[in-house]
Amino acid sequence: MPANAYVTLVTNTDYAMGALALVRSLKLTGTKADIVVLHTGGAPEAALVPLAELGARLVPAALLPTSEAFNARHQRTRLHADAPFTKGNKPAFHTPLDNFAKLRLWQLTGYETTVFIDADALVLRNIDRLFSYPEFSAAPNVYESLADFRRLNSGVFVAKPSQETFARMLARLDEPDAFWRRTDQTFLQSFFPDWHGLPVFYNMLQYVWFNLPVLWDWKSIFVLHYQYEKPWQKDHPKADALKPLIDLWHAYHSGTGVPDIDRLPNPAG
């Protein structure tokens, strides 16, 4: 088994669709690391088979054993009421409580270092160098203004699997009255307050395309992350504004017509 692995999480059929594009994009970078798909049982076997055919290792990952009170505080309707999303729309298949299952990455102790990547992302060029970064490394949650640099985005991060770390996480996660406003993202920033910052180009959020176009440079982007609306959704509110990024995702998903990233035009402005 290789010392390193890329890891993603599939919790339903939609994210299995996203993971297919992600796994294909990783394969195209020429990485020799393992690609692990944690899956919670929310996607049918038929949706997982194409991932295995691409060479991904499928690993069952049960939802965390959190208390009923914790689950109630973090179920979709209540969470979105207590901490509403005001910048974009989360799709109907987004189930916030499932996000915490990505912590099971720390149980993959057969690997020395892992790089987690959300299933709604694409890897556009080789990022194996991240395996030499320390735990915990993540890019800032930049998509609107410089103020975004204060918060990390958990769509891409570097971690060192450890049962001891996982046990400490579970104890901290479900403390009395614990409420993690942005689920795993808020928790991880609290658990790793001295997180190491990756360049934004290792987790370029799609809203940068129209909010901060001067920051966008295809030749510098390593990972493109489709936060909020997903590229496989039909006619979502920002589909027209994000059409070049949506078309790129579909090329990776189908495996046909993947362009030379360095030749793509940057956004106007």
Domains annotated for the chain, with CATH where assigned, are 4-263 (3.90.550.10)
pLDDT score of 41: 93
Distance between terminal CA atoms of the chain? 46
Counted residue by residue, the chain has a size of 269
Instruction: Note the pLDDT tens digit of each residue in 60-113.
Output: 999 999 999 988 888 766 555 555 555 555 555 456 789 999 999 999 999 999
Per DSSP, the residues of 131-192 read GGSPSSEEEE--SS-GGGGGSEEEEEEEE---HHHHHHHHHHHT-TT---TTTHHHHHHHH-
State the SS3 of 55-93: CCEEEECCCCCCCHHHHHHCCHHHHHHHCCCCCCCCCCC
Instruction: Find how far residue 224's CA is from the centre of its chain.
Output: 10
Residue 208: which of 174, 242, 182 has the closest Cα?
Answer: 242
d(CA 24, CA 41): 22
- The encoded tokens of residue 151 equal 């918060």
Q: How far is CA 211 from CA 205, 228, 229, in A?
A: 10, 14, 15
6 has which bridge partners?
A: 35, 115
Pair 195, 137: CB distance under 8 Å: yes
Do 195 and 138 form a contact (C-beta atoms < 8 A)? yes
Q: How many other CB atoms are there within 10 angstroms of residue 195's CB atom?
A: 19
pTM over 0.95: no
CA dist., res. 208 & res. 125, Å (int) = 19
What pLDDT was estimated at residue 26? Answer: 98
| Whether the Cβ atoms of residue 63 and residue 70 lie closer than 8 Å to each other | no
The CA dihedral of 72, 73, 74, 75, to the nearest 10 degrees, is: 40
How many helices and strands, by DSSP H and E, does the chain display? 8, 10
Q: What are the pLDDT tens digits along the chain (269 aa)? A: 789 999 999 999 999 999 999 999 999 999 999 999 999 999 999 999 999 999 999 999 999 999 999 888 887 665 555 555 555 555 554 567 899 999 999 999 999 999 999 999 999 999 999 999 999 999 999 999 888 999 999 999 999 999 999 999 999 999 998 888 889 999 999 999 999 999 999 999 999 999 999 999 999 999 999 999 999 998 888 999 999 999 999 999 999 999 999 999 999 86
Picking from 191, 197, 193, the residue whose alpha carbon sits closest to that of residue 138 is 197
Cα–Cα nearest to 157, from 182, 133, 193, 124: 133
Asked if residues 212 and 142 have their Cβ atoms less than 8 Å apart, the reply is yes
8 Å CB contact between 117 and 6 = yes
